[in-house]
Amino acid sequence: MKQLGKQTWQFTSKPAILGASAVVGPEEGEGPLASDFDFIYDSLKMDEKTWEKAERRLFEKAIRLAMINAGIKQEELEFFVGGDLMNQIISASFAAKKLGTPYIGVFGACSTSMESLAVASMIVDSGGAKYALAGTASHNCTVEKQFRYPTEYGSQKPPTAQYTVTGSGCAIITRNDGTQTGPFVTAATIGKVMDFDIKDPFNMGSAMAPAAADTITAHFRDTGLSPGYYDLIVTGDLASVGLPITKELLAKEGIPMEQTEFTDCGLLIYDRERQKYVIAGGSGCGCSATVTYGHILKRMKKGQLKRVLVVATGALLSPLTYQQGESIPCIAHAVALESGGEQA
d(CA 269, CA 52): 22
Beta pairing, strands 79-84 & 261-264: unpaired
Q: How far is CA 146 from the centre of its chain?
A: 20
pLDDT above 90: residue 305: yes
d(CA 97, CA 200): 35
What is the sign, positive or negative, of the torsion defined by CA atoms of 296, 299, 303, 304?
negative
d(CA 117, CA 172): 9
What pTM was estimated for this model as a whole? 0.95
User: Mean of the pLDDT values across residues 4-28?
Assistant: 97
What is the sign, positive or negative, of the torsion defined by CA atoms of 49, 55, 56, 58?
positive
Question: What was the pLDDT predicted at 342?
Answer: 44
Structural domains present in the chain: 2-174 (3.40.47.40), 184-338 (3.40.47.40)
**Sequence-distant (≥ 6) Cβ neighbours of residue 142 within 8 angstroms:** 51, 52, 54, 55, 85, 86
Tens digits of residue pLDDT in 186-234? 999 999 999 999 998 889 999 999 999 999 999 999 999 999 999 999 9
d(CA 288, CA 298): 14
Question: What was the pLDDT predicted at 145?
Answer: 74
Tens digits of residue pLDDT in 27-41? 999 999 999 999 999
Tens digits of residue pLDDT in 44-68? 999 999 999 999 999 999 999 999 9
User: Mean of the pLDDT values across residues 15-30?
Assistant: 98
pLDDT above 50: residue 245: yes
Rounded to whole angstroms, what are the CA distances from 235 to 151, 231, 244?
26, 14, 11
Question: What was the pLDDT predicted at 343?
Answer: 39
Encode 269-286: b = buried (16+ Cβ within 10 Å), e = exposed.
bbebeebeebbbbbbbbb
Identity of the amino acid at 186: T
State the chain's mean pLDDT as an integer.
94
Rg value, the chain, Cα: 18
